[in-house]
Structure 1
Amino acid sequence: MSKVSVLVVDDAPFIRDLVKKGLRNAFPGVALEDAVNGRKAQILLSKEVFDLVLCDWEMPEMSGLELLTWCRQQESLKGMPFIMVTSRGDKENVIQAIQAGVSDFIGKPFTNEQLLTKVKKALHKVGKLEALMSTAPARVNSAFGNDSLGALTGNRPEVVAATANVTSSAQPATKPAAQPAASKEPTGRGQGQLRLPNGTQQCVIKALTLKEASLLVRRTESLPQILDSAVLDLEQGENAEVARLNGYLHAIAAFEQKPDSDWLQLTFRFVDQDTQKLDYLSRLIARGTALKHFVPGA
Structure 2
Amino acid sequence: MAKVSALVVDDAPFIRDLIKKALRSHFPGLQIEEAVNGSKARQLLARTSFDLILCDWEMPEMSGLELLEWFRGQPGQQKTPFIMVTSRGDRDNVVQAIQAGVSDYVGKPFSNEQLISKVSKALHRVGKLELLRSRPVQTSVGHAQESVSALLGSRRSSAPATTARPGAGAQEDHREVQLRSPVRAQLRLAEVQLPCVIRRLSLRDAQLLVRRNERLPSLFESAVLDMEQGDEDAVVRINGYLHALSALEDRLESEWVLVTIRFVDQDPAKLESLSLLIAAAG
TM range (shorter): 0.7 to 0.9
Choose which of 240, 249, 255 in structure 1 pairs with 2:242: 249
1:148-163 alignment runs, 5 A limit: 152-153=151-152
- Would you say the 8 A contact 2:4–2:132 is kept in 1? yes
**Residue 75 of structure 2: aligned partner:** 75
Q: Is residue 89 of structure 2 the alignment partner of residue 89 of structure 1?
A: yes
Q: Distance in 1 between matches of 2:63 and 2:184?
A: 28
Runs of 4+ in 1 over 6 A off after TM superposition: none
The answer for unaligned runs of 5 or more in structure 2 is 140-144, 154-180
Secondary structure of the 1:137 match is coil
**Correspondence list, 1:215-254, <5 A:** 215-238=208-231, 240-254=233-247
> How far 1:149 moved relative to its partner?
6.1
Taking the TM superposition and a 5 Å limit, the aligned residue runs for 1:30-109 are 30-109=30-109
* 1:270 matched residue in structure 2: 263
Q: 1:87 to 1:93 in 2, by over 3 A?
A: same
Amino acid at match of 1:152: L
Q: CA separation in 2, counterparts of 1:240 and 1:94?
A: 18
Report the counterpart of residue 180 of structure 1 in structure 2.
Answer: none
TM-score, normalised relative to structure 1: 0.80
Does structure 2 conserve the Cα–Cα contact (< 8 Å) formed by 1:189 and 1:237? no
Is the 1:254–1:265 contact (alpha carbons within 8 Å) kept by the matching residues of 2?
yes
Secondary structure of 1:269's aligned partner: strand
- Deviations 1:196-233 (Å, cap 9, x if unpaired)? 12300000000000000000000002221001100001
| Deviation readout 1:225-281 (Å, 9 max, x if unpaired) | 001100001112146421111000000000112111100000000000010110111
Q: How many residues align?
A: 250
Structure 1 Cα separation of the partners of residues 6 and 275 of structure 2: 35
Deviation at 1:282, TM superposition (A): 0.9
| Maintained 8 Å contact 2:182/2:199 | no
Equivalent-residue separation in structure 2 for 1:32 and 1:104 (angstroms): 19
Deviation by residue 1:178-198 (Cα, 9 ceiling, x = unmatched): xxxxxxxxxx77010110123
Task: Give the structure 1 partner of residue 176 of structure 2.
Answer: none
Q: Distance in 2 between matches of 1:255 and 1:189?
A: 15
- In the superposition, the TM-score normalised over structure 2's length comes to 0.84
* Post-superposition offset of 1:138: 8.8
2:276 aligned with 1:283: yes
CA–CA separation in structure 2 for the residues paired with 1:68 and 1:112: 24
Gaps of 5+ in 1: 140-145, 155-187, 290-298
Aligned pair partner of 2:254 in 249, 255, 261: 261
* Residues 192 and 136 of structure 1: CA distance in aligned 2, closer, same or farther (over 3 Å): farther
Alignment partners' CA distance in 2, 1:50 and 1:210: 35
| One-letter amino acid of the counterpart of residue 247, structure 2 | A
Whole-Å Cα distance in 2 between the matches of residues 135 and 54 of structure 1?
Answer: 22
Partner of 1:200: 193
Q: 1:110, CA displacement in angstroms?
A: 0.5
Please give the per-residue CA displacement for 1:117-146, whole angstroms capped at 9, x wherever unaligned: 11110011111111122247399xxxxxx9
